[in-house]
Structure 1
């Protein structure tokens, strides 16, 4: 039963952090709590401009209701191994700047069951893309976040 209140969309924020703020050998760390995911990206693996653009683009996806966080009572659930449910795929891929719209550092490509982020290779390392794609197997694949694809 609903009390009529509308829950605000969850937020996804990206930030650059010093390399020593991450576990040794890692490009990023993703922390989740109810209503928020924060992706901390090592300074050698991503740029502040990319983080700003990704935060803005994710705000639009959330505002459109395209993705929503499932209830998050366990703050370390994102760090558990993927269960392989394959509900949806989320991945990051490096591309050359000329593949993206003029002056864009990132662009989402989405269809039902999949979201691929194309990232300017000068602003995101291969290791970062691989690590975030691993998180995506857990986040989207196991339904921690659910896609709401518009009906045709």
Structure 2
């Protein structure tokens, strides 16, 4: 297993996304994944911030590639619920931010400013995440304890902003 992991998000200006899809993941051996995002559905500023913010989450080993370098990333979700990872649109975030990440044991939610991408894109990305995280193809290693097996209970949706101020 590699000791460094990388996911790079790209605006797909070269046509890597198959017809009818809004996002496409290409997983490579050695902990590397390229994710192509449909340019008509995401803002370039969002993609830049996504790479900057998630570089820590992936590069530090909080999320690690398990077994997707053989094309399994392209398969449909099996519904194993090993971990929850999803993206949600919100109306407000701290000034100048396009996203905010909540990462806990067996749960990762990326809150995204509504103007940064379309709802159709969020649906497509969440379907991809149900497979990659939910089926254990990418696994979360929280607090250096190693991989924790077993299904996770889905928390309630966190679409509404918190009542207390959020410090970032």
2:129 & 2:123 partners in 1: Cα distance? 10
1:124 & 1:139 partners in 2: Cα distance? 21
**1:50-102 deviation line (CA, Å, top 9, x unaligned):** 1111111111112332111114441x201111111110011111111x2x222
**SS in structure 2 of the partner of residue 142 of structure 1:** coil
Q: CA deviation at 1:17?
A: 1.8
Indicate if the aligned counterparts of 2:88 and 2:110 stay in contact, CA closer than 8 A: yes
Mark the CA change 1:135 to 1:103 in structure 2 (over 3 Å): closer, same or farther.
Answer: same
**1:98-152 deviation line (CA, Å, top 9, x unaligned):** 2x22211111112221111111111111111111111111111111111112279
Indicate if the aligned counterparts of 2:63 and 2:141 stay in contact, CA closer than 8 A: yes
1:72 & 1:116 partners in 2: Cα distance? 21
Q: CA deviation at 1:8?
A: 3.5
1:68 & 1:143 partners in 2: Cα distance? 10
Higher strand share: 1
Please, what is the CA RMSD of the aligned residues?
2.1
Matches within 5 A, 1:48-67: 48-67=44-63
Mark the CA change 1:123 to 1:85 in structure 2 (over 3 Å): closer, same or farther.
Answer: same
Question: Normalized against structure 1, the TM-score is what?
Answer: 0.85
Indicate if the aligned counterparts of 1:92 and 1:119 stay in contact, CA closer than 8 A: yes
Match of 2:36 among 26, 40, 64: 40
Match of 2:132 in 1: 139
Count of aligned positions: 144
Is 1:130 the counterpart of 2:160? The answer is no
1:62 & 1:23 partners in 2: Cα distance? 25
Match of 1:79 in 2: 74
Mark the CA change 1:23 to 1:7 in structure 2 (over 3 Å): closer, same or farther.
Answer: closer
1:133 & 1:112 partners in 2: Cα distance? 18
Q: CA deviation at 1:20?
A: 5.2
1:7 & 1:62 partners in 2: Cα distance? 12
